[in-house]
């Protein structure tokens, strides 16, 4: 299977080197997903404002965003995403026990109703199939 390796900071185009340095300062390294985007500087520069708006802005508390990201990652079987969002979930105050119980959240006493509603929404959106010919999802 073809693979896109993350671009090392030393090989990054001058126009994105400062982005890589900022990430390295913030995370201790350049996360692989952004390193891979570094091969296409315009993609990285275009994606980052969108990603920042989704993850850093708005009125939804970080806990609920991370619950949704992590549940979606697990449902999609993305190990990279699951690892990344497990770490982010812990930073957002989600316990190891809660993370371990995500598969069975509906019957768990570890989650409040708002947690369960968030997880159910993430589950339904992730599993939704487009309506035939319209490109819209059925929930």
- The domain total for the chain is 2
Length of the chain equals: 139
pLDDT band at 136 (very low <50, low <70, confident <90, very high): low
Task: Decide: helix, strand or coil at residue 137.
Answer: strand
pLDDT at 55 (0 to 100): 82
Same domain, 50 and 94: no
CATH number for the domain that contains residue 38: 1.20.5
Q: Which of 100, 99, 98, 106 is nearest to 123 (CA)?
A: 106
Residue 117: CB atoms within 10 Å: 12
Q: Give the pLDDT confidence of 45-101 residue by residue, as tens digits.
A: 999 999 888 888 889 999 999 999 999 999 999 998 899 899 889 999 999 999 999
**1 found inside a domain:** no
Same domain, 42 and 96: no
Same domain, 91 and 115: yes
Q: Give the pLDDT confidence of 79-94 residue by residue, as tens digits.
A: 988 998 998 899 999 9
Strand segments (E) across 34-130? none
Same domain, 71 and 94: yes
**6 found inside a domain:** no
- Full-model pTM: 0.76
Same domain, 67 and 28: no
Parent domain of 43: 11-56
């Amino acid at each position: 299977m073809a693979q896109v390796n993350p671009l090392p900071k030393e090989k990054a185009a001058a126009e994105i080197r400062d982005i890589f340095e900022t990430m390295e300062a913030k995370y201790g390294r350049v996360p692989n997903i952004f390193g891979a985007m570094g091969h296409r500087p315009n993609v990285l520069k275009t994606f980052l404002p969108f990603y920042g708006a989704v993850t850093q802005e708005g009125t939804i508390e970080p806990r609920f965003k991370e619950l949704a990201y992590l549940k979606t990652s697990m449902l999609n079987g993305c190990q990279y995403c699951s690892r990344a969002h497990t770490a982010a979930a812990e930073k957002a105050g989600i316990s190891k026990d809660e993370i371990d119980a995500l598969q069975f959240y509906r019957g768990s006493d570890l989650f409040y109703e708002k947690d369960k509603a968030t997880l159910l929404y993430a589950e339904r959106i992730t599993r939704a199939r487009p309506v035939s010919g319209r490109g819209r999802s059925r929930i």
